[in-house]
Amino acid sequence: MNDLPTNSGHSRGRGRGTKQKDDANRGLGLQLGQSSNEARPDKPVPPADALKTSEIIPKSKDTEAQAIEGDPRGSVRGRRLITEVVHSRPQGLTTKAGISGTKINVQTNYFKLLKRPCWTIFQYRVDFEPEVDNTRYRRGYLYEHKNILGGYIFDGTILFCTTQFNFKELVTKNHAGENITIKIKHVGLVEAADNQQFQVLNLLLRKAMESLSLQLVSRNYYDAKAKIKLNNYRVELWPGYQTSIRQHESDILLCAEVVHKVMRTDTLYDILSEAIRDTDNFKDAFRRQVMGMICLTDYNNKTYRIDDVDFGLNPLCKFNTKDGDISYVEYYKKRYNITIRDHKQPLVVSRPTEKNIRGGTDQLIMLVPELARATGMTDAMRANFQLMKAMSEFTRLNPDRRIERLRAFNKRLQSSKESMDVLKSWNIELDTALVDIPARVLFPEKIVFGNQKRFVCDNRADWTMEFRNNSMYSHVDIKRWYVITPQRNLRETEEFVKLCIRAASGMKMTISEPRYDKIADDRNGTYSQSIDNAVAKDPQIIMLVLKAPNEEKYSCIKKRTCVDRPVPSQVVTLKTIAPRKEKSAGLMSIATKVVIQMNAKLMGAPWMIELPLRGLMTVGFDVCHSSKNKNKSYGALVATMDMKSSNRYFSSVNEHMKGQELSDQMSMNMTYALKAFREHHGILPERILFFRDGVGDGQLHQVVNTEVKFLKTKLDEIYKSAGKEDGCRMAFIVVAKRINTRYFTNNRNPVPGTVVDDVITLPERYDFFLVSQAVRQGTVSPTNYNVIHDNIGLSADKLQMLSYKMTHMYYNFSGTCRVPAVCQYAHKLAFLIAESINRSPSSGLENQLYFL
């Protein structure tokens, strides 16, 4: 049972004045009330796809049919797929394969490239005079000369082909009959051994996939014809594929993953109409709903993040082009043959990203609500059980269905003449079979309860039921505690507290009767005052009852109990502790979980694992971005104080701004953790196992070359000053959950503990994949572990086993989790601070798991 989730939705007022309804029926223009001729104090800016474009060209059918949808700024799409190769494999490592466990074979979502490319690719820079910045038209102009160029790949700026050209210029004409000169300059070669070949291979694959009648949305291809309509919820699910080709241990492999895009059928205009109909202050309501949302514009298949709404601009306002001023209405009619219906709707603002600015686009991007479709899911949608259930029937594919879809994708690619022509022209052949690889299943872990009783985990990796027969490994009796509850809900709260006392008794833990503070109302100030009164009596823990999930109240309570009046707190809602009668059967189970959680917050240990190493500190670090301020992030560190002889933890969290390096904060917090360890044990830890979460492939270079080196230098300094001349023995492991790799055992999910450390791993890394969970629906996702520093003195086998052991120690759930527990704790802490507290918690709580 989690503490109250922090992603509960905002409550929204639903005032329905007659004037709003009547005006909404007559069109938005009457509500927005700005004349099209009204002067603007600042100059209107063009829409996104008109920025830096020297001409407005209507789509020709030939161009549209042959052009590959590209970035209007001429950037290289393919470069997103293959980032810089970071060599993190330690020098002198003989093998990264383990030996423990039972050997098995698994099937993966990879296809092998049967023919390794043996070509030399000529690379050319392509420029247009006069300048044409829209990639679609650049590609269209170049395609007119396909007979001369032969087979080629063009990403909008760079042209790749296997032919060496003698000419340097080509001439074509635009729609106005003006000459366009295409300048082609040879800039280099891509040999088969170069890493850049994978950029070319991915571009080739994407070109081959275009022949499958798939639609490019953002970075991936989706099958719009196979879309699944959930009309009751105004949502469509588009099935698609996420693909990547790269060099693995000994072969070039294509990883293909089945994905789904949630496409909402409502536009921003629909959201605006609802705001006008349902609220008194529709401008603020509309802003609240769309700020931060990602929207899709169908006319150019691009996504934009919404940063503001300009109610002073409308589609009749004009912006400047090479051919003179033009209104948004005229522009979209001329460019896309789109008629904008409501001329008085506001314009939505998207600020240019850093990438936009690097590409020369530094102006605001203006979007018309009618033409922008909302994407993604709102908190209200996520909280809609019926919607999530309806979606899961299509998105949570069991292994057999996923394998079937992957084979269908391969067959579809192989049976398309256009697709095969693309691949064959470059001498590429793709295997039809999924790759089979060796794997191992690690031995099941033993969970240790009170009185040293042990439970051997089964394939479910869940020991919830064992608490009915066993006491917790160690517990803290709760003798002084407060329960703060609204007066009108006192009876339900008392009933639940009795269940908690009974559940604790069954686990040999004593919970005394609490003191109740019956508050007259549930205002934030009332909760704050009650917390102050309770803390004055020095309680061990405070339980607070909310009528319903409410982010604002939760934030107020956590700020008070974590910063102003530091005390462990347990927040519960009436929906959880007093459900309707038909759902009350599992109430004892909920009470048991709440007791386990409160015990963990008070430094008790609900269970333990068998750990042969003494003096081991495991550390988790994760980063969470603030939803309220996109420029702020919070990095949290959680460390164990040697689980073999202590069940204490140390935690710390720091705020950092966007672009700021984490090296200083990470090493400073590690210094505090080592100080806490030495105060508790009298010595420094013998070994440190550091798990770093929240790292994308693009950040790996910085982590390897900056964070680890800085941290290692600082730790060696501390250890040498303590008389340990060899310095600190540490393994630094990057943990990645958002990966596309999947593997299966006999068309079923692999059991927890299944490790893969060969074939699909990367030659430049010391890495392995581990499935640590069991799932009831869908396909289980493995976690990738990349050891980027290692002088801990343990074999690959032992590092794999230790990583698996640590997934059993997350006290919020009596089962394994996807990542080592310290990573999950760090995520929980960073998320709490980023979403609810927005400031550093009191140091008085740093040794407690108060954030569970």
CB-CB contact of 436 with 561 (8 Å): no
Tens-digit pLDDT profile for residues 224-268? 889 999 988 889 999 999 999 999 999 999 999 999 988 888 899
The answer to whether 815 and 462 are in contact (CB under 8 A) is yes
Residue 108 CB contacts under 8 Å (≥ 6 apart), including other chains: 434, 435, 436, 437, 741, 742, 743, 744, 756, 759, 760
Cα–Cα distance, 424 to 389 (Å, whole number):
43
Average pLDDT over residues 755-769: 96
Band the pLDDT of 80: cuts 50, 70, 90. very low
CA distance 294 to 289: 11
- Which whole number is the average pLDDT over 206-215? 87
Model pLDDT for residues 629-676, shown as the tens digit of each residue: 777 889 999 999 988 877 899 999 999 887 666 778 899 999 999 999
Q: Identify the CATH homologous superfamily for domain 464-601.
A: Response regulator (3.40.50.2300)
Coil vs helix vs strand at 127 = strand
Query: If we measure between CA atoms, which residue out of 713, 712, 718, 733 comes closest to residue 671?
Result: 718
Q: What is the pLDDT of residue 511?
A: 97
pLDDT digits (tens, 9 = 90+) for 274-320: 999 988 899 999 998 898 888 889 888 788 889 999 999 999 999 88
Amino acid at 328: Y
% residues pLDDT > 90 (the chain): 58
Mean pLDDT, range 166-177, rounded to an integer:
82
Tell me: pLDDT of 25 over 80. Answer: no
For 637-699, the DSSP string reads EEEES-TTT---EEEEEEEEETT--SHHHHHHHHHHHHHHHHHHHSS--SEEEEEE-S--GGG
Contact, 121 vs 197, CB < 8 A? yes
Angle between the N-to-C axes of helices 282-290 and 268-278, in degrees from 0 to 180, rounded to the nearest 10: 140
Residues marked active site are found at: 622, 693
What percent of the chain has pLDDT above 70? 88
Residue 571: the pLDDT is 96
CA 290 – CA 274 distance, rounded (Å): 12
Structural contact between residues 709 and 702, judged by C-beta atoms closer than 8 angstroms = no
Q: Does domain 616-845 have CATH number 3.40.50.2300?
A: no
Closest by CA position to 786, among listed 717, 690, 722, 719: 690
- 85-99, 544-558, 655-669, 724-738: segment of lowest average pLDDT: 655-669
The amino acid that residue 824 corresponds to is: Q
Q: Give 35-42 contacts, CB < 8 A, sequence gap 24+.
A: 36/314, 36/316, 36/317, 36/343, 36/344, 38/312, 40/312, 40/313, 40/317
Predicted confidence (pLDDT) per residue in 428-487, tens digit: 899 999 999 999 999 999 999 999 999 999 889 999 989 888 999 999 999 999 999 999
pLDDT of residue 132: 80
pLDDT confidence band for 47 (50 / 70 / 90): low
User: For residue 510, what pLDDT is reported?
Assistant: 96
- Give the pLDDT of residue 31: 36
Q: What is the DSSP string of 258-321?
A: EEEEEEEEEEHHHHHHHHHHH-SSHHHHHHHHHTT-EEEETTTTEEEE--EEETT--TT-EEEE
CA atoms within 13 A on the CB side of 87: 4
pTM: 0.83
Domain range summary for the chain, segments of one domain joined by +: 18-55+266-378, 464-601, 616-845
pLDDT value, residue 184: 92
Four-way CATH pick for 18-55+266-378: 1.20.1270.360, 2.170.260.10, 3.40.50.2000, 3.30.360.10: 2.170.260.10
Same fold, 464-601 and 616-845: no
SS percent in the chain: helix, strand, coil, step 5: 35, 25, 40
On the question of a cis peptide bond just before residue 44, with omega within 30 degrees of 0, the verdict is: no
